[in-house]
């Protein structure tokens, strides 16, 4: 665990969601590049299968039972936050779930727990990765 972050107060769940959004996007981009996609348009199009509120809500559903109590608490606080914007292209429930998912990833990034992030995101996208090897 990063010593600096242990001394620094925990950010708000919205700040964690912001951080988690970036960390999740990096994971997705790396996953797509590893698939051998090299054209930016194809990469951006493929990323939409993972970074939308609906996609993140599905990903959360795949890992929900694997979470610790502390992880669930951060998810719940972000899900229930009154500071959420009105979603433009998603249901309110998917948008709230995606925000909670991002806050969860942000928490782990803040705690410098890359191993846990990789485990959860690998589990969330396990089927996609298995389908890649079958192609």
What are the residue numbers of the active site?
21
In 1-135, which residue ranges form alpha helices assigned H by DSSP?
3-7, 13-34, 40-51, 53-63, 69-79, 92-110, 114-124, 126-134
- Other C-beta atoms closer than 10 Å to the C-beta of 61 total 12
Q: Cα 35–25–97 angle (5° rounding)? A: 120
Give every CB contact of residue 128 below 8 A, 6+ residues apart in sequence: 31
Phi, psi at 80, each rounded to 5°: -90, 5
């Amino acid at each position: 665990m990063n010593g600096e972050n242990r001394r620094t107060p925990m950010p708000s769940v919205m700040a964690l969601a912001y951080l988690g959004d970036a960390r999740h996007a990096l994971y997705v981009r790396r996953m797509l590049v590893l698939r051998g996609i090299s054209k930016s348009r194809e990469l951006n199009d493929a990323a939409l299968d993972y970074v939308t509120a609906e996609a993140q809500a599905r990903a959360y559903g795949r890992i929900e039972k694997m979470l610790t109590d502390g992880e669930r608490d951060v998810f719940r606080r972000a899900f229930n936050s009154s500071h959420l914007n009105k979603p433009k292209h998603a249901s309110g429930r998917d948008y709230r779930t995606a925000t909670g998912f991002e806050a969860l990833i942000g928490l782990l990034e803040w705690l410098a727990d890359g191993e846990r992030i990789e485990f959860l995101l690998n589990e969330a996208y396990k089927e996609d990765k298995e389908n890649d090897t079958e192609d």
